[in-house]
Structure 1
Amino acid sequence: MTAPGTGEKSWAHEDLQPSAAPAGTDPIANRPGQHGFFMIGTEALFLCHMPMFTMERHMYQVVLRASLPGEVMEEYRAGRRADPKLAFNLINSGDDPFSLPQLKSGRRTEFRADLFRDNDGERGEPVGDPFATGIPVTVENVVHFRHFNADLPRPHHMTYLLFGAGGQAHLSHYIAQDPDFQHILTLGSVPSWVSPEQLEAGVLLTIRDMPSTPIPCAPSLPEGECPVLYEGRSDAPAVLDMTGAHDVWFSTANLLNAEDPC
């Protein structure tokens, strides 16, 4: 498969292998490669990794706080404000590979990337040519880092990671087991019951009235007030105001699952 406008093999299909490692190979080897991230937030930039259950190097749900050079950040901000629902994304340059554990360990705090305005949710590829190439991306904080664990059950209820900074808050669905879905959205306002420190660190919210299955094929969070539990605790109920929230990304495809349930 070729990436639109490039004529070259798509980054997402590079060295694509099934989750069961071939005989004689190391099933836990995280060889450096290319990684795609969705870009969200205008005041503070966050990057959400595009995970895959089918490749070891991509079997991670990761959220980073990052920064870009001033002019590039302003171009991204202008595009994001013009169309908040565009799936802005970036991919580290082919000549600057890394593994996700290198970001978590702090061995890598910067990489070069190509930036795109949209993404094809079916094929897992950027749409069109990049609007900026070879841009230095600085990782300021690892907000969430988790390798998928085949032995941990799926949560009983829908679970989302709440995070943000700079007067903005975002949600990213907690991805657990194949099949699953990736859903990223920006809230209309920051919840008053979470401190700035907690928001920057990220907290998990259980949506009390929504079971985690069946897997939805479209965004299904309620409008208006949404009852949640802070970190799943029954003694810590709260209400999430969904007024003014807008989706940035939703997909059950994008190479996330071995087979798209939708």
Structure 2
Amino acid sequence: MSTAPLPDTLSAAADRHGHRFLLIGKETIFSYHLGLYHVPVHAFQLITAFGLTDHLRTTYLDDLAAHGNQQVYYSLFTEGHWQLQELVDGTRTSLAVELERVTVDAQGKRTFTPLLPAVDVTSRKEDVVHYRPLEADAGYPDYVTELVFGRGGEIHLAHALAGAPSWDEVITTVDPQGFRPADLTPAATLTVLSVKDPHGAAPKSPLIPDTRYEAKIGERPVSFTVGRQGWWNNTSLN
């Protein structure tokens, strides 16, 4: 395991070959794969929960608390273009990850600032709550659709990626109502019938912060208020 000092910043264009997973949540911390439609090894939407070290967890939560009012995200970077199916099958049970803070400037350029050098985290196939290949020609739904995941009262929504171009987003809900534990594992699909799908790479989220929405999981009504945005990408995704 490398403990060499890391550079202060790494630009989004840095020539680093590997997977990134966005950290989502505070109580149970989920890892959301940064998908890319047109790069085969990254053309997957995957949500899991790695077994994090106490130091990594504390560093993430403390930094999030210090930057909570900014457009800031957090990722785990792991070297190598290995197949994500290994996480689903359970053949990869650990991986070395670097914790990064991701900031976005006015032009949309992302900068990855290392917070911790590589540490090992664990992976269990039973902690994978969603895994699906991305299909650029899959077509678009009529209304905004989301994947539901979380644990207990902390419920997150990830935009269900269908046709390309599109946008990739994860939000944490506030005051979720009507959700059930069975909606979270595997991740259920939620439809927001009041919001038409933009059928393209939306310039900003169709779900407005601090706004309450009525939605459905199947025919069952649920509702939520849009809280913190844990990830956004409408550029490199496509």
- Count of residue correspondences: 224
The CA distance in 1 between the partners of 2:79 and 2:135, in whole Å, is 28
1:90 to 2:76 alignment: yes
Q: Which amino acid aligns with 2:97?
A: A
1:251 Cα deviation (Å)? Answer: 2.2
The CA distance in 1 between the partners of 2:82 and 2:111, in whole Å, is 19
1:120 Cα deviation (Å)? Answer: 4.5
1:48 to 2:52 alignment: no
What's the secondary structure of 2:58's corresponding residue? helix
Task: List runs of 5+ in structure 2 lacking aligned partners.
Answer: 1-6
Match of 1:100 among 84, 92, 97: 84
Cα pair distance change 1:249/1:135, threshold 3 Å = same
1:166 Cα deviation (Å)? Answer: 4.5
1:225 to 2:212 alignment: yes
Match of 2:149 in 1: 163
Match of 2:3 in 1: none
Q: Deviations over 1:12-46 (max 9, x none)?
A: 6x4xxxxxxxxxxxxxxxxxxx1011111111111
Cα RMSD, aligned residues only: 2.5
1:81 Cα deviation (Å)? Answer: 2.7
Match of 2:95 among 111, 114, 117: 111
Q: Does the Cα contact within 8 Å between 1:38 and 1:87 map onto a contact in 2?
A: yes
1:131 to 2:115 alignment: yes
1:54 Cα deviation (Å)? Answer: 1.7
Q: Which protein is bigger by CA-based radius of gyration?
A: 1
The CA distance in 1 between the partners of 2:152 and 2:72, in whole Å, is 20
Cα pair distance change 1:6/1:162, threshold 3 Å = closer
Cα pair distance change 1:87/1:54, threshold 3 Å = same
The CA distance in 2 between the partners of 1:135 and 1:218, in whole Å, is 34
1:165 Cα deviation (Å)? Answer: 1.2
1:105 Cα deviation (Å)? Answer: 1.2
Q: Which amino acid aligns with 2:223?
A: L
Cα pair distance change 1:6/1:119, threshold 3 Å = closer
Match of 1:26 in 2: none
**TM-score scaled to structure 2, two decimals?**
0.83
The CA distance in 2 between the partners of 1:65 and 1:120, in whole Å, is 25
1:247 Cα deviation (Å)? Answer: 1.4
Q: Does the Cα contact within 8 Å between 2:23 and 2:30 map onto a contact in 1?
A: yes
1:252 to 2:238 alignment: no
Q: Does the Cα contact within 8 Å between 2:45 and 2:131 map onto a contact in 1?
A: yes
**Percent of paired sites with the same residue:** 24
Structure 1 window deviating more from structure 2 (131-140 vs 48-57): it is: 131-140
Q: Does the Cα contact within 8 Å between 2:72 and 2:104 map onto a contact in 1?
A: no
Match of 2:184 in 1: 199
What's the secondary structure of 1:74's corresponding residue? helix
1:153 to 2:157 alignment: no
Q: Deviations over 1:97-156 (max 9, x none)?
A: 521111111111210011101145845x5422x111221122241111000134532222
The CA distance in 1 between the partners of 2:65 and 2:182, in whole Å, is 26
Match of 1:178 in 2: 164
What's the secondary structure of 2:204's corresponding residue? coil
1:162 Cα deviation (Å)? Answer: 1.2
Match of 1:79 in 2: 63
Match of 1:27 in 2: none
The CA distance in 1 between the partners of 2:158 and 2:214, in whole Å, is 17
Structure with the largest fraction of strand: 2
1:143 to 2:146 alignment: no
Q: Which amino acid aligns with 1:90?
A: L
The CA distance in 1 between the partners of 2:160 and 2:183, in whole Å, is 17
